[in-house]
């Protein structure tokens, strides 16, 4: 198992452990108000909603951690053994390398822009290998399935996910949003204080939250698999430069 898959499975297990806890609590509600062993008072409906809402935070944490790690693994692969030069990279990824080195996406003073342009020029003129670079991922809180698809195109590959998994992640759940889009939306609203934890999961059921979580987890697992294939096949390089 690769480091990427191992890291994903470890973080995924945290979400599954929390869902298992909620499942046990849900089972207790069938016998009456749930309560922790030894507790004098049962868990209130309001407290249950707060616990349910935490799932959205955990899921989004997993999404952002997973995609950040996937991108990191790609940029690290390009500098493997210092053997690849920018001319070896596929066209899309080379574009991202230029963007990162020349900082074309940043507002710079004329002198700073010239300095970065010279740095790029010197690198190419000396035929130096690709060095560490960080892709611009945009601000935090923006990852959903559409954003992930756009990122893979920037890396030079199409995201191929099984039809059943793709249909499940796109299927509207609330306000015309699919599972991952809803996770992003609710996480951001919670983070910015525009909705309370109680309001977030109002009228939500555990079965609905579990279904949303499973859709998200299966989709992320498929995404990780696509990145694994991309890395193992050296698809970050031009076809003629792949081992």
Q: What is the pLDDT of residue 170?
A: 97
Q: What is the mean pLDDT of residues 235-240?
A: 96
The domain spans of the chain are 3-79+138-238, 84-131
Residue 104 has pLDDT above 90, yes or no: no
Which pLDDT value is given to residue 198?
96
Q: Give me the pLDDT at residue 80, please.
A: 82
Q: Is the pLDDT of residue 5 over 80?
A: yes
Rounded to 10 degrees, the C-alpha dihedral 204/208/210/211 comes to: -150
Quick one: which of 237, 77, 63, 229 has its CA closest to 146?
63
Q: What is the mean pLDDT of residues 176-189?
A: 97
The tokens describing 96, both together, are 């991202």
DSSP structure class, residue 39: -
- Across the range 131-138, mean pLDDT stands at 81
Has residue 139 got a pLDDT over 70? no
Of 231, 235, 225, the closest CA to residue 9 belongs to 225
What element of type H or E holds 140? Answer: none
**What per-residue confidence (pLDDT) applies to 152?**
95
DSSP SS3 for 124:
helix
Average pLDDT, the chain: 92
Residue with tokens 């692969």: 77
Specify which residues 174 forms β-bridges with. 177
Contact indicator for 100, 136 with CB cutoff of 8 Å: yes
For residue 180 the two structure tokens come to: 């991952």
Q: What confidence tier does 1 reach under pLDDT thresholds 50, 70, 90? A: low
Distance of alpha carbon 193 from alpha carbon 32, whole angstroms: 32
């Amino acid at each position: 198992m690769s480091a990427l898959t191992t890291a994903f499975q470890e973080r995924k297990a945290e979400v599954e452990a929390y869902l298992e806890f909620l499942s046990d609590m849900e089972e207790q509600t069938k016998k009456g108000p749930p309560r922790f062993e030894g507790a004098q008072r049962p868990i209130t409906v309001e407290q249950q909603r707060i616990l349910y809402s935490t799932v959205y935070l955990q899921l989004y944490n997993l999404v952002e951690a997973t995609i950040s790690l996937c991108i990191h693994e790609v940029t690290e692969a390009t500098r493997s053994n210092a053997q690849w030069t920018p001319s070896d990279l596929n066209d899309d990824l080379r574009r991202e390398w230029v963007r990162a080195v020349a900082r074309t996406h940043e507002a710079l003073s004329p002198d700073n822009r010239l300095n970065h342009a010279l740095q790029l020029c010197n690198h190419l003129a000396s035929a130096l290998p690709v060095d560490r670079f960080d892709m611009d991922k945009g601000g935090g809180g923006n990852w959903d399935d559409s954003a992930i698809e756009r990122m893979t195109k920037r890396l030079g590959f199409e995201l191929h996910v099984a039809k059943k998994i793709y249909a499940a992640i796109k299927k509207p759940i609330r306000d015309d949003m699919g599972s991952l889009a809803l996770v992003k939306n609710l996480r951001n609203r919670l983070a910015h204080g525009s909705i309370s934890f109680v309001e977030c999961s109002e009228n939500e059921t555990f079965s609905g939250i579990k279904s949303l979580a499973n859709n998200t987890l299966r989709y992320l697992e498929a995404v990780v698999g696509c990145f694994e294939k991309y890395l193992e096949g050296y698809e970050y390089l031009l076809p003629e430069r792949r081992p």
